[in-house]
Amino acid sequence: MITTNLGFADWTQVFGDHVMTAALLDRLTHKAHIVSCNWDSYRLKQSLKEKGKQGRTTHANNGL
């Protein structure tokens, strides 16, 4: 199983070479089941929630 938040078109940013990236994707996806998940990330949501709590705490403490 391979997971990524990059679309296939953006993989050349990682590997640099367009030809090598195309060959790699061809081999990876030949008999693959590709599941595209377009919903919000649970980890991102939790991280933003925690940062929001920290920001309110910091602002509240600065007022003392």
Alpha carbons 57 and 62: distance in angstroms, whole number: 9
pLDDT tens-digit map of 18-48: 999 999 999 999 999 988 888 878 888 899 9
**24 within 8 A of 8, measured Cβ to Cβ:** no
pLDDT at 54: 76
> Tell me, what's the pLDDT at 52?
85
Tell me what percent of the residues of the chain surpass a pLDDT of 70: 84
62 three-class SS: helix
Q: pTM here? A: 0.54
Domain edges within the chain = 8-62
